[in-house]
Amino acid sequence: MVPPELHLINPVQLAEKQERLTGTIPLSALQRIREVLHDDKGSIKFELHFGKDEQGVIFIQGKFSVSLKIKCQRCLQPMELPLQGQICLGIINRNVARNLSDRYEPLTLNDNEISLETLLEEEILLALPIAPVHERERCKGSRIVEEYRPEHDSPFAVLKNLNRNK
C-alpha cells in the first residue's frame, strides 16, 4: 500500500539548481515513526540544501527539529522528547559504484527519487535514543531504580557538595 500524500523529490535535479527546501511534515505522515509514538500530533521542521561537492558527489545537507510524544521506557507514561539533528547525506547512484568520504552518510536512491517523508523518517530513527526515559525527578518509575542507586546517602555526595562551595 502506498501511503497518500508523499512528497517526492529528485535530489539530483535539486542539486543542479542548488535548491534549498524548508518546511514541515506532519508526524502522522511518517509511517515508521508513528509506530513508536504515543501520540502522532505535531510535525517535523526541516531545512535541506542540495548541491554537488568538488568531487562531484551530490549531497543533501541540513537540519531538522521535532518534538516526539513517546512512552518512557522506565514508567511507560507519555513523555515529550525534543530531537534535533544535522543531516549530511551523500547520494549513491546504483549504477555508479564509488566510495563516499566519511563526511557523508550514504543514501541510495531508487529511480532518482525519494520522498521527504522517507528521508526524514530515517534521520529521526537514527537520532532516537534506544531507551528514552523521563528526567529522574519526573519519572514515576525512578523510585524503583533509586533503590539500586544509593549515592544520595553516600558520604561522598556530601563531600562533592563541599568541594563545589569552595
Binding-site ranges for Zn ion (CB under 5 A): 72, 74-75, 134, 139, 141
CB half-sphere exposure, 61, CA atoms < 13 A: 9
Q: How far is the CB of 81 from Zn ion (least distance, A)?
A: 11
Q: Which three cell numbers stand for residue 136?
A: 529522574
Q: Which three cell numbers stand for residue 77?
A: 507514561
- Neighbour tally for 68: CB within 10 Å: 22
- CA-CA-CA-CA torsion for 73, 75, 77, 81, nearest 10 degrees? -40
Q: How far is the CB of 78 from Zn ion (least distance, A)?
A: 9
Q: Quick one: 66 or 75, whose CB is closer to Zn ion? A: 75
Q: Quick one: 57 or 134, whose CB is closer to Zn ion? A: 134
Q: How far is the CB of 157 from Zn ion (least distance, A)?
A: 23
Q: Quick one: 76 or 125, whose CB is closer to Zn ion? A: 76
* Cα–Cα dist 10/3, whole Å: 18
Q: Quick one: 75 or 114, whose CB is closer to Zn ion? A: 75
Q: How far is the CB of 150 from Zn ion (least distance, A)?
A: 21
Chain-centre distance of CA 22, in angstroms? 16
Measured CA to CA in angstroms, residue 79 lies from 137, 144, 154 at distances of 13, 18, 30
